[in-house]
Amino acid sequence: MAILETTGQLAESLKRSRADYIEARLEESESSQITYRGKELEAAGRTTAVGGNVRALEKGGWGFVSFNDLRELPDRVELAVRQARFTGKEESHLAPAPPIVDTVPVDVKNPLSISLAEKKQLLDEYNEIIWRTPKLQTSVISYGDSYKRVIFLSAQGSYVVQEKAGVTLRLTAVARDGSEVQQVGLSLGSPGDFNQIRGLHQQVKEMAQHAVDLLAAPQVQGGEYTVVLDPILAGVFVHEAFGHLSESDHVYENERLREIMMLGKRFGSRDLDIIDTATLPGLRGSYKYDDEGVPATKSYLIKEGILVGRLHSRETAAKMGEKPTGNARAINYRYPPIVRMTNTYIEPRAASFDDIISEIREGVYAKNWYGGTTSMEMFTFSAGEAYMIRNGKLAEAVRPIMLSGNVFTTLHNIDAIGNDLDMNQGGGCGKAGQSPLPVSNGSPHLRIRQCLVGGR
């Protein structure tokens, strides 16, 4: 335990330093990775990492020093303070957070304790299924797991030790016919429980078959459509189309955006509730304390269509006169915490899938995801699979599509919310160079009117 030995010295240095606020994080982790390309296992690797950082605030300016050489910690503390003094020229604002002393172990078996042979056997099974599909060109599988311990210290006396684990699996099947190449992927993850990636044989088979089927599928005509999103893609939609806008670091120093994001404003129909919470067990975005040592909360962002809350760090909460929500997160010790989502979802309502598609004369059913991004005003997200809806029924498969819309109008265009909430654990979120952060997102099936679809 290299880092435990240094916490005493670091805590002393923090207490002696002179800044409006100062904290440190120490981290050690181990991880393993297995990748397949084609029929063969391509690479197996093991990684260890040890490192830490010191962050100081003085007169509203931040200094931040990260390192993985654990010697000379008092010098690092001093450098962070010096940088904060150089930066700050105004006033520091931090919402109060009482000091916390706690240890939070993980409640799953360390995935690194499972042998490489056992992991390889499962991945071999999946790869064989992919390769049994006729016309398949190649496959890519990447598996990773990790186990880490993070210690948070502050000059006010916080001492929080949290253990975290993660398992991620991404499978991709690639089909080719001449110069046409199509691919379909499947992404899964869990906060450390290896069992959650077992038993996917049927899903893997369907994925590979779909990649081959896409070779013959037409591309959709670009334009506006009524689209129906499956729970996985609707989760990506809620993350991109609204979640990022609720991160207060985009808003707190932007007067115009603050006016747009006034609490009490209507963003959608009375049926729409959007929630972000790190308090649900078993999800990748969950934790007990964030990286500023603030306890996780459950935040309603939208309730009955009205903007009622947002996600905060201690600084954004203080500057907006609101309560901290425990959403300051850093991907690892090399970065300072910034405001991030955790597990974000739309609450289910009553509609069945058949109710949702039955009234659509011509529309698009989009499933699964490639990715998504947002500019705050406009968002895009891409579906891994898509089908036409004709006269209330699912029709032919089409090439994967890209959807785009305006954040402020698209939520109003949701006119049906399903009864089948499902959380997607396969994604990671990127912001300000910190990617991929473990998050999950989810939704029931959604129907959106007038959604812009890119196409031929």
Partner 1 sequence: MEAVLARASKVAAQAEVFTATSEETSAQFEANRLKHVQTRQSATIALRLIKDGRIGYAFAAGPADPQALVDMAVETARFGMQARFDLPAPAAYPNIATFDRETPAVPIERMTGLGEEMIAAVRQHTPDVLCQAGVSRSDYSVSIINSRGGRASYRKSIFSLGVEGTLIRGTDMLFVGEGEMSCCPILNTTTITDTVRQQLELAKSLAPVPSQPLPVIFTSNGIASALVSPLMAAFNGKLVLEGASPLAGKLGEALFDSKLHLWDDPTVAFRPESRPCDDEGVPSQRTPLVEAGKVSSFLYDLQTAAMAGTRSTGSGSRGRGGLPAPAPSAFVIAPGNTTMAEMVSDIKEGLVIEQVMGAEQGNILGGDFSGNVLLGFKIENGKMVGRVKDTMVSGNVFKLLKEIAAIGSEARWVGGFLSTPPLYFPRLSVASKGQG
Site for partner 1 in 382-441 (CB under 8 A): 382, 399-402, 404, 406, 408
Of positions 15, 18, 46, 109, contacts partner 1 by CB under 8 A? 46
Q: Are 19 and 154 in contact (CB under 8 A)?
A: no
Q: What is the DSSP letter of 16?
A: H
**H or E element at residue 47:** strand 40-58
Minimum CB distance to partner 1 smaller for 99 or for 371: 371
Is residue 7 involved in binding partner 1 (CB under 8 A)? no
Of positions 84, 160, 232, 398, contacts partner 1 by CB under 8 A? 84
Of positions 34, 150, 167, 331, contacts partner 1 by CB under 8 A? 34
Residue among 270, 345, 268, 263 nearest 308 (CA): 263
Of positions 2, 4, 263, 394, contacts partner 1 by CB under 8 A? 2
User: What track of x and - describes contact with partner 1 for positions 212 through 251 (by CB under 8 A)?
Assistant: ----------xxx---------------------------
Q: Are 419 and 406 in contact (CB under 8 A)?
A: no
CA angle 212, 198, 439 (to 5 degrees): 85
Is residue 299 involved in binding partner 1 (CB under 8 A)? no
- Binding segment (CB under 8 A) for partner 1, from list 201-209, 278-286, 300-308, 379-387: 379-387
Minimum CB distance to partner 1 smaller for 319 or for 421: 319
Query: In angstroms, what CA-CA distances link 190 with 173, 245, 286?
Result: 22, 26, 10
To partner 1, the closest distance from the beta carbon of 431 in angstroms equals 13
Peptide bond into 436 cis (omega under 30): yes
To partner 1, the closest distance from the beta carbon of 42 in angstroms equals 5
Residues 304-323 that bind partner 1 (CB under 8 A): none
Is residue 17 involved in binding partner 1 (CB under 8 A)? no
Of positions 17, 59, 87, 104, contacts partner 1 by CB under 8 A? 87
CA angle 424, 428, 430 (to 5 degrees): 140
Residues 252-281 that bind partner 1 (CB under 8 A): 253-254, 256-257, 260
Q: Are 273 and 311 in contact (CB under 8 A)?
A: no
- Binding segment (CB under 8 A) for partner 1, from list 7-15, 341-349, 366-374, 411-419: 366-374
Would you give the end-to-end CA distance of the chain in angstroms?
57
Alpha carbons 206 and 321: distance in angstroms, whole number: 50
Residues 126-145 that bind partner 1 (CB under 8 A): 137-138
User: What track of x and - describes contact with partner 1 for positions 97 through 116 (by CB under 8 A)?
Assistant: -------------------x
Query: In angstroms, what CA-CA distances link 447 with 222, 234, 357, 452?
Result: 18, 9, 8, 13
